[in-house]
Each structure stands twice: as structure tokens, then as C-alpha cells.
Amino acid sequence: MNLNDVLLRPLVTEKTSSQLNGEGTFAFEVGLGANKIQIKTAVEAYYGVKVADVRTIVVRGKLKRSGRHTARRGNWKKAYVRLALGETINLYDV
């Protein structure tokens, strides 16, 4: 997997902005096939920071309805990346 297949986009939500950034933790949407080592390497290469810890979770797709038809959204993977002490990422300048 290359860098574009591992890191899809940063997740900037109210929860990730308030709770996680104070701890030096950032959330990213990553590819379903990406493992923790690939995620750590991709964040370090793309942002030029030192990563201390990576936690991942697979978010299950929701069941959606349109009239009488039902469909299911696809699953996606979320990664919480904690940076080493003194490291930071400015997501708005990249």
C-alpha cells in the first residue's frame, strides 16, 4: 500500500478537536486494509512528526432507507494517532 491508500483524510470533528488535540492525539480516516505499522509510517512520512501510539477501529456502515428500499453504507476504518511529546500537526496548513 502506498501513502495515498493508507491515509485518506484527517477527521476534524467537534469531538476530535476538543478532546483529542489537547492530548496530542489526531484522528484520521484510513484504508480498511491498513495496519498500525503502515499508519504510523504514513503519518511520520507525510507530516514529518514522531508517532508514539496508534489505535484503530472499524466503523460499521449504517443501514439507510430511501422510500421502501434499504441499502447499507460501507464500512470504514478510523485511526487515533498519538504524537510524541512536543510534536504537533497543523491540519489546516497542509
Sorted by where each begins, the domain ranges of the chain are 3-83
| CATH superfamily, domain at 3-83 | RRM (RNA recognition motif) domain (3.30.70.330)
Say what the pLDDT of residue 68 is. Answer: 94
**Angle 37-40-43 from CA coordinates, rounded to 5°:** 145
Cell (9 digits) for 19: 478532546
Average pLDDT, integer, range 17-37: 88
> Is the pLDDT reported for residue 48 higher than 60?
yes
Higher pLDDT, 43 or 20: 43
Distance between first and last Cα of the chain: 22
